[in-house]
Amino acid sequence: MAGKPKLHYTCGRGKMESIRWLLAAAGVEFEEQFIETKEDLEKLRNDGFLLFQQVPMVEMDGMKLVQTRAILNYIAAKYNLYGKDLKERAQIDMYVEGTTDLMGMIMMFPFQPAEGKEKQLALIKERATTRYFPVYEKVLKGHGQDYLVGNNFSLADVHLLEAILMVEELIPDGLSQFPVLQGFKARISNIPTIKKFLQPGSQRKWPTDEKLVAQVKQIFNI
């Protein structure tokens, strides 16, 4: 069954957003089935669709893929966004793990109790500007190429752009010390498939608001 990939998740960013980005970057159209209630999740579980009872889940190529990293790796490899050999793949993996850690902090931020938010925001800013962004700034400056790895567009570039935009939503001047990343951001945003994804009407999801936080807590019993 050739069909389009079908994504199962809530109608929000969460762990599925990186997958939406990657499919969009690869120019792959996809469908979405949104989990809106606890019953929706229970049905997926009872039907045996979720290997570890968790989402994200992506139906593609006859598989019900779960676990974000597994899904991203599969899509990246399938659409030639995973480097040309094992060493490039290792580079990409390292960079993506870094942006995953950073975006993980941002993902949890809306779920923080109000009194912890200021401290968490300061930590996000500190990590972004002293641990993560300097690394990518240095890598790009070091080789002077347009893309992070192997002079070719890859998952690492998509993931970094996603991370940059997420940080900037919380910390608007997040890139102020990183001129090379500013250039990277402009360049990657202009790639046609990505440009399209960044426009209104695409399947890109909004930043998580209180309403979604409440819905997620309800569905997943948090």
Partner 1 sequence: MSGKPKLTYFNGRGRMESVRWMLAAAGTEFEEAFLETKEQYQKLIKDGALLFDQVPLVEMDGMKLVQTKAILSYIAGKYNLYGKNLKERAQIDMYVEGKSDLMGMVLTYPFSPPEEKEKKLALINERATTRYFPVYEKALKQHGKDFLVGNCLSWADVHLLEAILMIEELKPNVLSQFPQLQGFKARISNIPNIKKFLQPGSQRKPPPDDAYIATVLEVLKSD
Q: Which is nearer to partner 1, 80 or 202 (CB)?
A: 80
Are β-strands 57-60 and 6-9 bridged in parallel, bridged antiparallel, or unpaired? antiparallel
The reply on whether position 98 binds partner 1 by CB under 8 A is yes
87 binds partner 1 (CB under 8 A): yes
Site string for partner 1, 37-76 (x = CB under 8 A): --------------xxx-------x-x-xxxxxxx-xx--
Residues 119-138 close enough to bind partner 1 by CB under 8 A: 131-132, 135
Q: Which residues of 177-213 are buried (b: 16+ CB within 10 A; e: fewer)?
A: ebebbeebbeebeebeebeebbeeeeebbeebeeebe
Based on the shown chain and the rule CB under 8 A, indicate whether residue 195 belongs to the binding site for partner 1: no
Is residue 156 a contact point for partner 1 (CB under 8 A)? no
* Residue nearer to partner 1 on the CB measure, 38 or 87: 87
- Rounded to a whole number of angstroms, the minimum distance from the CB of residue 131 to partner 1 is 6
Q: Decide if residue 180 touches partner 1 (CB under 8 A).
A: no
Q: Which of 145, 135, 144 is nearest to 102 (CA)?
A: 135
> Which of 63, 62, 102, 64 shows the shortest CA–CA distance to 54?
64
Q: Which stretch binds partner 1 (CB under 8 A): 6-14, 82-90, 142-150, 186-194?
A: 82-90
Place of tokens 């480097």: 83
Cα–Cα nearest to 94, from 149, 163, 22, 13 = 149
**CA neighbor of 148 nearest in space, from 102, 74, 92:** 92
- Rounded Cα–Cα distance for residues 120 and 127 (Å): 10
CB-side exposure of 63: number of CA atoms within 13 Å?
10
The interface region with partner 1, picked from 19-27, 29-37, 97-105, 111-119 by CB under 8 A, is 97-105
Binds partner 1 by CB under 8 A, chosen from 17, 59, 93, 162: 93
Q: What is the contact surface with partner 1 in residues (CB under 8 A)?
A: 51-53, 61, 63, 65-71, 73-74, 77-78, 86-87, 89-91, 93-94, 97-98, 101, 131-132, 135
